[in-house]
Amino acid sequence: MPLEIATYISDLVQSNPAASDPLAGADDHLRLIKATLKNTLAHTGQLTNTDNQLIPAGGTFTKPAYSFAAEPTLGIQRSAAGTMSVVGGKLKGTREVGEVVMFLKEPASLGRTTADTGKDWLELNGASYNVSDYPALATFLGVASGTFTLDDMYTTGRFPRSRTSTVAARTAQANTGGPHVHPDVTATTAAETQEHTHSFSGTTGSMNQNASHAHTYSAVMNAGGGGVGGGGAFGPQQSGLSTSATNTDHQHTFSGTTSGRSSSHNHTVTVSTPANSGTTETRPEAIAFVFAVKT
């Protein structure tokens, strides 16, 4: 039969040469074997693994340096100095299934909707996926068949927190405000809280310095000369008579001390809470990331 055609070792047909081939064709087969060896192992000198001679060229994204017989386009390529890249597929096992990471932007292999399949990462946005599309992640989440739904950190922009003895992992929590106080912004001084009294003194107002006044009275005058029992007659009665006085001005002074105030007393303070700024979150300064889970 005619000599087979081959360029690399993988092209050689193991059943050739056939038993019926003439002996004269043996040298052609030997030359073919030598040619495929040289094409496949394009090296000079002794083949060893100490001087990297067994390591092929860097490869390309369509023809990796190391590949598989069943899938020649799947393998490893040296994409840059000190960097190896998986070609034609994805490398399993380097990241734990179910691991959650933060990206500054969407990675190239990110699933966001139910229709996405074969993605390395799925955003935690509450989307549902088929177990058959992501069996490893479904197993991690404890879902055997049907669909599974991822946690939603996207819709309301939730903050991550650690689980506790009372809060299980994957528990979604709503906004809340813990117990707190609003202190009086004006501090009470020591003088306001210690025992103290208040003294007072003064004088009343005075009358006019020369405010004169009079007392009106009436009297009966005796016109006769007889004495008592002598039968004399009384004279006419006179009225409108008065006495007067001056320099009646006077004042009243007063003084005293209030009772003491114990240091154990209260001051009523009214505190007004500022109006809400209009947001639905209570948060510190923050930066938003893309939260995704490994499939």
Which residues have CB under 8 Å from 143's CB, separation 6+?
A: 131
pLDDT at 282 over 80: no
Mean pLDDT check: name the lowest of 48-62, 122-136, 148-162, 223-237.
223-237
The residue with tokens 């994805």 is 90
Query: What's the pTM value of the predicted model, to 2 decimals?
Result: 0.48
Residue 213 near residue 248, CB atoms below 8 Å: yes
Residue 131 near residue 148, CB atoms below 8 Å: yes
CA distances from 135 to 75, 139, 231 (A): 23, 6, 151
Question: How many C-beta neighbours within 10 Å does residue 90 have?
Answer: 12
pLDDT at 237 over 80: no
Highest-pLDDT range among 72-81, 143-152, 226-235, 271-280: 143-152
Question: Span 238-261, mean pLDDT?
Answer: 69
pLDDT at 214 over 80: no
Model confidence at 152, pLDDT cuts 50, 70, 90, reads very high
Q: What percent of the chain shows pLDDT beyond 70?
A: 68
Q: What is the pLDDT of residues 178-202, one digit of tens each?
A: 787 766 666 666 656 667 777 888 8
How far apart, in Å, do the first and last CA atoms of the chain sit?
A: 53
pLDDT at 88 over 70: yes
Distance of CA 263 to the CA centre of its chain: 43
Q: What is the CA radius of gyration of the chain?
A: 57
What does the mean pLDDT of the chain come to? Answer: 79
